[in-house]
Structure 1
């Protein structure tokens, strides 16, 4: 955790130019056990949807931490890449949400493909509280405060491509990561983009054919990577 992320409702006015916040959850545990903070120490903080800055630990014990918060800087710029991801198994989804959020992604779309298990759409990992926690962990890692949006599209793949994908890619380059594609993934930002990543095992031929009508297929090279690794490699190439 490189940032103590606060909710707006946790801030109370204090001295001029500062706020007060009291923590009594896992952030308190992090302050005590990882940072080993003491009264008088400073830590990085930010408020969801707002600025980042520094906080002084005013008081700290086993039950709560009181912080004096000063917010002075904007969060880092977002990565203008929408990530459309064939819903992976729950442990992989957690990794992708955290890592892609840390890299600056602000919009996720989780969709169904032939090689996606239907049971994944009823997993605990898709509950709003679980998704929110993974997004917060990614933001805290990257010292960011702007919470991404996550859309879930359980409809058939063909319907997703016809009815949902146009809105996700409007005004943006649409890239589909697929092993063996003739075009390598760009190694620099290309402007606003929507990046599609398939399931473990890849898209089936019919899905590849459908996407070929609307998107540019790109390749990462001869190595076959796990979804969480491929996502990080692709986003790193498209980042400034």
Structure 2
């Protein structure tokens, strides 16, 4: 936890918070704070700053907070990700969030197992937990938006043209594709497929919407590894 995320419900006064949940136990175990120590904090969807330890008990910690800094800038990216298997989804969501992605579409694909859509990970509270962990890791405060799209064709044909309009539209594909372009600060829409990649029909549907198929070399990476590699190449992060 590189940033202690604060919620409006933590505040007992305009500049005072009391924390007594998972965050408190993490702070006590890893930060081992003393009275007067300064910790890095940030208000969810707000500014970052510092929190000075006022008091510490076995049940809670009280901080005097000053929030005066803006969170890190978001990546100018809308990410379309074929729904990974549940265990990988948790790690991948944390990685995506920590790298500054704010618009995430989890989409269907021929190679996505139907059972993945019934995983508890996709429940709102569980998704939020993974996103918060990613924010804490990177020192960010702005929660991404996650959209679920269970039907591939209607999404690509009806919604995607407007989503990708006037952006650098790319679909990661290991075969018959161009090398990954260089870093840019321009608005980008990136589609990443499931393990084994999108099937040719799906790639063609993306291309019909104006997407360029790109690859990152001869090596085939797992989704959880391909995501940070692609983002690091496409943006000056």
The residue matched to 1:53 in structure 2 has which SS? strand
CA distance in structure 2 between the aligned counterparts of 1:67 and 1:211, rounded to whole angstroms? 50
The Cα shift of 1:181 comes to 3.8
- The residue aligned with 2:29 is 33
Alignment partner, residue 84 of structure 1:
80
TM superposition shift of 1:87:
0.4
Q: Write the mapping of 1:46-125 to structure 2, written as runs, cut at 5 A.
A: 46-125=42-121
Match of 1:152 among 130, 148, 153: 148
Report matched runs for 1:116-195 at 5 Å.
116-155=112-151, 157-195=152-190
Is contact 2:12-2:18 (8 Å) kept? Answer: no
Indicate if the aligned counterparts of 2:46 and 2:141 stay in contact, CA closer than 8 A: yes
Stretches of structure 2 that go unaligned for 5 or more consecutive residues are none
* Partner deviation per Cα, 1:129-186 (whole Å, 9 max, x = no partner): 111011111111111111100000012x222210121232122121100002431112
Bigger mean CA offset, 162-171 vs 121-130: 162-171
- Alignment partners' CA distance in 1, 2:148 and 2:98: 20
- The equivalent of 1:232 in structure 2 is 228
The match for 2:193 among 198, 216, 226 is: 198
Q: Secondary structure at the match of 1:121?
A: helix
Distance 1:73 1:190 in 2: 22
Name the CA distance, whole Å, in 2 between partners of 1:36 and 1:10.
Answer: 20
Corresponding residue for 1:221?
Answer: 217
Q: Deviations over 1:1-43 (max 9, x none)?
A: 10000112322335xxxx1010111110111101111221111
Structure 1 residue matching 2:58: 3-state secondary structure: coil
The superposition leaves residues 91-125 of structure 1 with CA deviations (integer Å, 9 ceiling, x where unpaired) of 11111111111110001000100000111111011
In 2, Cα distance between equivalents of 1:182 and 1:74: 39
CA distance in 2, matches of 1:63, 1:190: 45
**CA–CA separation in structure 2 for the residues paired with 1:13 and 1:181:** 59
**Considering only aligned residues, what root-mean-square deviation do their CA atoms show, in Å?**
1.2
Q: Is the 8 A contact 1:180 1:221 kept in 2?
A: no
Cα distance in 2, alignment partners of residues 174 and 182 from structure 1: 14
Is the 8 Å Cα contact of residues 4 and 140 (structure 1) preserved in structure 2? yes
Could you tell me whether the CA contact under 8 Å between 2:82 and 2:107 is conserved in 1?
A: yes
Q: What's the CA shift for 1:61?
A: 1.8
Aligned length: 235
Gaps of 5+ in 1: none
Q: Give the counterpart of 2:18 among 19, 22, 29.
A: 22
Distance change in 2, residues 1:38/1:179 (3 Å): same
